[in-house]
């Protein structure tokens, strides 16, 4: 790792200044986050927004309403998000578990200690580390979600191996954002990566943090 945390931290304000947040990414409603994050897998932001808007038009986004909803209606709502035949039953299953096990209230999970809450969230269908951390950070917990965009920036910035695990990336991002709100920091990094740090051809020539990035300075010590 050629860059150190301090050097990266000095670029954080540039990342914030140059990130483009989208309204569709800003919900903090915990159960919506649990539903929206799996919907977001392997699909574009616009499709997540359309799917969530469809769901909201058709149902109250509550565990009880979605547990009792007709699966065909859920499929129709999330069809724009691809893999809708996998995502729709997943939504129904997670809704039913939250209804039955947690009294229909996701906040009952979030009343536990952060460690227990994370474990309970991870036990739900379709909920992986990223979804658990998005939900917890949306509730104000100091845990940073790592999605593919954030993973890509961190790996490139620090010259980390492609198989670096979730926990290491998360620790690195936590040092980077310091005391900033992890939920907002997550959104800021997504906005930044979508503008500059694109998957195939990043815009390093325009990137405001290029001088601190290992990827754009491969020979630098
Ligand atoms: S310099 Fe290039 S690789 Fe590095 S963060 Fe910016 S866009 Fe990504």
Q: Based on C-alpha coordinates, what's the Rg of the chain?
A: 18
Model pLDDT, residue 76: 95
Closest CA relative to residue 199, chosen from 161, 160, 138, 155:
155
Ligand 1 centroid, distance to 194 Cα (angstroms)? 11
Q: How many CB atoms lie within 10 A of CB 98?
A: 24
Tens of pLDDT, residues 71-115? 999 999 999 998 999 999 999 999 999 999 999 999 899 889 999
Closest CA relative to residue 176, chosen from 34, 1, 13, 41:
13
Q: Where are the domains of the chain?
A: 5-22+144-212, 29-128
Query: Rounded distance, CA 33 to CA 135, Å?
Result: 6
Do 143 and 137 form a contact (C-beta atoms < 8 A)? yes
Give 5-22+144-212's CATH code, choosing from 1.10.3720.10, 1.10.1670.10, 3.40.50.300, 2.30.110.10.
1.10.1670.10
Ligand 1 centroid, distance to 174 Cα (angstroms)? 19
Q: Which of 15, 216, 217, 218 to mutate to test the pocket of ligand 1 (most atoms within 8 A of CB)?
A: 216
Model pLDDT, residue 26: 57
Q: Which of 210, 214, 218 to mutate to test the pocket of ligand 1 (most atoms within 8 A of CB)?
A: 210
Question: Which residue has a Cα nearest atom 8 of ligand 1?
Answer: 197
Query: Rounded distance, CA 75 to CA 9, Å?
Result: 43
Q: What are the percentages of helix, strand and coil residues in the chain, rounded to 5?
A: 60, 0, 40
Q: How many CB atoms lie within 10 A of CB 152?
A: 19
Ligand 1 centroid, distance to 195 Cα (angstroms)? 10
Locate the DSSP E strands across 92-170. none
Model pLDDT, residue 3: 47
Model pLDDT, residue 58: 94
Ligand 1 pocket: which residues have CB below 6 Å?
153, 156-157, 196-197, 202-204, 207, 209-210, 213, 215-216
Task: Classify 219 as helix, strand or coil.
Answer: coil
CATH class of the 29-128 domain in this structure: mainly alpha
Model pLDDT, residue 220: 55
Which ligand 1 atom is the nearest neighbour of the CA of 156? 3
**What stretches in the chain show pLDDT beneath 70?**
1-9, 21-26, 179, 219-221
Task: Classify 58 as helix, strand or coil.
Answer: helix
Query: Rounded distance, CA 193 to CA 148, Å?
Result: 10
Model pLDDT, residue 59: 92
Model pLDDT, residue 70: 96
pTM: 0.85
Question: Which residue has a Cα nearest atom 2 of ligand 1?
Answer: 204
């Amino acid at each position: 790792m050629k860059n150190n945390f301090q050097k990266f931290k000095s670029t954080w304000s540039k990342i914030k200044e140059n990130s483009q947040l989208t309204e569709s990414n800003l919900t903090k409603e915990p159960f919506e986050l649990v539903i929206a994050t799996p919907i977001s897998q392997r699909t574009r932001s616009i499709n997540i927004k359309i799917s969530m808007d469809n769901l909201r038009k058709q149902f109250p986004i509550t565990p009880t309403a979605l547990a009792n909803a007709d699966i065909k209606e859920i499929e129709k709502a999330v069809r724009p998000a691809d893999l809708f035949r996998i995502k729709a039953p997943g939504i129904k299953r997670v809704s039913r578990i939250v209804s039955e096990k947690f009294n229909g209230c996701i906040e009952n999970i979030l009343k536990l200690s952060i460690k227990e809450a994370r474990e309970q969230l991870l036990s739900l269908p379709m909920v992986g580390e990223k979804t658990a951390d998005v939900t917890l950070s949306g509730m104000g917990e100091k845990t940073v979600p790592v999605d593919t965009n954030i993973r890509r920036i961190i790996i490139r910035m620090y010259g980390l191996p492609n198989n670096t695990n979730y926990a290491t990336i998360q620790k690195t991002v936590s040092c980077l954002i310091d005391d900033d709100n992890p939920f907002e920091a997550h959104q800021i990094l997504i906005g930044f990566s979508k503008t500059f740090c694109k998957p195939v051809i990043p815009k390093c020539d325009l990137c405001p943090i290029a001088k601190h990035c290992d990827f754009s300075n491969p020979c630098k010590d």
